[in-house]
């Protein structure tokens, strides 16, 4: 019998106490109800403990329409509980009452915000940034690739625009969009091929180029495009096939001799274990918000590390919204060579510095949210 090469992937129920919060925090920290707040067009998740400490993060904008879901299904699992039991609470919320009937990205996005705000609260109590509060920080600066959203300009225009941003930021990697997003046209394919050829002519092997298809291809199309990309120096192909068809992505990955990436839309730990164990992708890309937070993404990183797979989370963000992912990237040993970021002044010499203010770095006091509106009640 042939040995299972992925037998080392840890089962879902054997993850140890990754954070060790009872060892880090000596006293009970009883939580109040989480609050979704809107202030000056931005959304925040705030949570207090009964001793007066506060944790808050700037939220992913997707939380705004989900505030009622958070209050109706998730808040009660955390209110009145000890923040040191965070890992157990993140697991328990799924089966509390009938929450499993709400499973999916919107549910886990809500859980992620509560979890991240609790971590912010605990780290602030010690006056530490989250990564230092949790353990050994492996890096304080994160090399980034500049992610792009443009598909409608010409290939030559896109390469020229990216080249200017690379010059401004000192970045050595970028991710370009290909395909039409969950579908494709011959015109789009011609544009995309022209773009890749223009990138190869201009940058050669001096710039790492990734591409993201957002599920644009059938398996045969993904293989054909993937072979073209490999021939012209592209470093990975992200989401070649629709994300809800993981067998198609695996078929494309099996047929290609260069890396296929995926996982940004997935929120099930079982799905991530399948992607790792079955080698459905070569690069794992959870989104810290979509996949349920830092604890669950650390578990995903551990699964991937068991088979030597890198983890490069989906994070086309900047500033405070990107802070949790930067902290994550500073802690995991199997992060990819570059992490995702949008071009901005924060990128210097191709890197972004991990925020070193307490918590995740949002500055606030008792008066900061005085004019905020609470959502979801």
pLDDT at 207 over 50: yes
* Nearest partner of 55 among 362, 367, 291, judged by Cα: 362
Within a domain: 2: no
CA torsion angle 65 77 122 50 (round to 10): 100
Q: Please name which of 265, 264, 288, 284 lies closest in space to residue 360, comparing C-alpha atoms.
A: 288
The pTM of the full predicted model, rounded to 2 decimals, is 0.95
What pLDDT, on the 0 to 100 scale, is given for residue 233?
97
Specify if 3 maps to a domain: no
Percent of the chain at pLDDT > 70 equals: 96
State which residues form the domain around 103.
12-127+364-375
- Quick one: 171 and 306 in the same domain? yes
Q: Where are the alpha helices (DSSP H) in the chain?
A: 21-24, 67-69, 75-78, 86-95, 105-125, 130-134, 155-169, 186-203, 219-231, 246-255, 269-277, 294-305, 319-331
Mean pLDDT on 198-220: 98
Residues 149 and 221 in one domain: yes
Mean pLDDT of the chain: 95
**Using an 8 Å Cβ cutoff, are 29 and 53 in contact?**
yes
Q: Are 56 and 374 in contact (CB under 8 A)?
A: no
Same domain, 71 and 162: no
3-state secondary structure of 45: strand
Rounded-to-integer distance, Cα 309 and Cα 301, Å = 9
Q: Are 277 and 269 in contact (CB under 8 A)?
A: no
Instruction: Let me know if residue 27 belongs to a domain.
Output: yes
pLDDT band at 149 (very low <50, low <70, confident <90, very high): very high
pLDDT score of 29: 98
Residues 347, 170 contacting (CB under 8 angstroms): yes
Instruction: Give the model's pLDDT for residue 3.
Output: 46
Predicted local distance difference test score (pLDDT) of residue 368: 86
Which domain CATH number covers 52?
Answer: 3.30.390.10
What DSSP designation does 292 have?
A: T
What is d(CA 343, CA 103) in angstroms, rounded to the nearest whole number?
Answer: 33
Listed range (16-20, 215-219, 296-300) with the worst mean pLDDT: 16-20
Average confidence (pLDDT) over 142-155? 96
Same domain, 189 and 290: yes
For 1, other C-beta atoms within 10 Å of its C-beta total: 3
What's the CATH number where 327 sits? 3.20.20.120
The confidence score (pLDDT) of residue 12 equals: 62
Identify the pLDDT of residue 316: 95
Closest CA to 197 of 209, 186, 213, 212: 209
Q: Determine, yes or no, domain membership for 281.
A: yes
Q: What is the pLDDT of residue 377?
A: 83
Pair (151, 295) in one structural domain = yes
Q: Are residues 154 and 77 in the same domain?
A: no
* CB burial string 23-62: b at 16+ within 10 A, e below: eebeeebebeebbbbbeeeebbbbbbbeeebbbbbbbbee
Assess whether 185 and 294 both reside in one domain: yes
The percentage of residues in the chain with a pLDDT greater than 90, rounded to a whole number, is 93
The span from the CA of 13 to the CA of 16, in Å, is 9
Q: Using an 8 Å Cβ cutoff, are 153 and 188 in contact?
A: no
Task: Provide the pLDDT for residue 5.
Answer: 46
- 186: Cβ contacts below 8 Å, ≥ 6 apart: none
The rounded Cα 317 to chain-centroid distance in angstroms is 10
Mean pLDDT for 120-144 is 97
Tell me which residue has tokens 């949570």.
47
What mean pLDDT comes out for the span 104-113? 98
Query: Measured between alpha carbons, how far apart are the two ends of the chain, in Å?
Result: 58
Q: Using one digit for the tens of pLDDT, what is the confidence trace for 308-345?
A: 999 999 999 999 999 999 999 999 999 999 999 999 99
My answer on whether 337 and 370 are in the same domain is no
Both tokens assigned to 27: 């006293």
The average pLDDT across 278-287 equals 98
Tokens matching residue 189? 């394919």
Q: Which residues contact 106 (CB under 8 A, 6 or more apart)?
A: 62, 66, 69
5 inside domain? no
Structure confidence at residue 1 (pLDDT): 35
Question: How many Å apart are CA 113 and CA 115, to the nearest integer?
Answer: 5
Percentage helix, strand, coil, to 5, in the chain?
40, 15, 40
Q: How many domains does the chain have?
A: 2
Same domain (yes/no): 117, 156: no
What's the confidence (pLDDT) of residue 138?
98
Q: Which residues neighbour 79 within 8 Å (Cβ) at sequence distance 6 or greater?
A: 31, 32, 33, 34
Is the domain of 220 the same as that of 250?
A: yes
Do 184 and 242 fall into the same domain?
A: yes
Please report, for residues 215, 225, 347, the alpha-carbon distance to residue 237 in angstroms, rounded to integers and kept in the order given. Answer: 11, 9, 24
- pLDDT higher than 80, residue 117: yes
Residue 7 lies in a domain: no
The SS3 assignment for 290 reads coil
Do 123 and 141 fall within a single domain?
no
pLDDT at 160: 98
Question: Is the pLDDT assigned to residue 11 strictly greater than 80?
Answer: no
d(CA 237, CA 281): 10
């Amino acid at each position: 019998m042939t040995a299972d090469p992925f037998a080392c992937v840890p089962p879902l129920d054997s993850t140890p106490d990754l954070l060790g919060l009872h060892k880090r925090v000596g006293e009970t920290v009883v939580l109040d109800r989480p609050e979704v707040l809107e202030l000056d067009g931005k959304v925040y998740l705030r949570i207090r403990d009964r001793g007066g400490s506060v944790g808050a993060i700037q939220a992913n904008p997707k939380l705004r329409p989900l505030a009622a879901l958070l209050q109706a299904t998730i808040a009660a699992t955390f209110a009145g509980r000890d923040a040191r039991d965070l890992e157990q609470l993140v697991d328990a919320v799924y089966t509390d009452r009938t929450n499993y009937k709400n499973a999916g990205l919107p549910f886990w996005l809500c859980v992620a915000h509560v979890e991240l705000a609790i971590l912010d609260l605990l780290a602030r109590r010690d006056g530490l940034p989250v990564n230092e509060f949790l353990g050994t920080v492996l890096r304080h600066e994160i090399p980034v690739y500049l992610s792009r959203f443009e598909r409608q300009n010409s290939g030559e225009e896109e390469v020229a625009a990216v080249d200017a941003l690379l010059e401004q930021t000192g970045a050595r990697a970028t991710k370009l969009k290909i395909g039409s997003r969950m579908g494709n046209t011959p015109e789009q394919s011609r544009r995309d091929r022209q773009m890749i050829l223009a990138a190869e002519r201009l940058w050669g092997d001096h710039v790492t180029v990734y591409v993201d298809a957002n599920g644009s291809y059938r398996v045969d199309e993904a293989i054909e495009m993937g072979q073209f990309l490999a021939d012209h120096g592209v470093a990975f192909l992200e989401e070649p096939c629709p994300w809800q068809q993981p067998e198609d992505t695996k078929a494309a990955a099996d047929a290609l001799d260069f890396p296929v990436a995926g996982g940004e839309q997935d929120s099930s730990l079982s799905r991530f274990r399948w992607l790792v164990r079955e080698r459905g992708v070569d690069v794992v890309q959870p989104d810290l918000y979509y996949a349920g937070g830092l604890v669950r993404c650390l578990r995903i990183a551990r699964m991937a590390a068991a088979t030597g797979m890198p983890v490069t989370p989906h994070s086309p963000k900047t500033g405070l919204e990107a802070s949790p992912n930067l902290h994550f990237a500073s802690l995991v040993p199997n992060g990819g060579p570059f992490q995702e970021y949008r071009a901005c002044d924060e990128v210097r010499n191709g890197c972004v510095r991990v925020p070193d203010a307490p918590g995740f770095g949002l500055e606030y006091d008792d008066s900061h949210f005085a004019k905020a509106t609470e959502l979801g009640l």
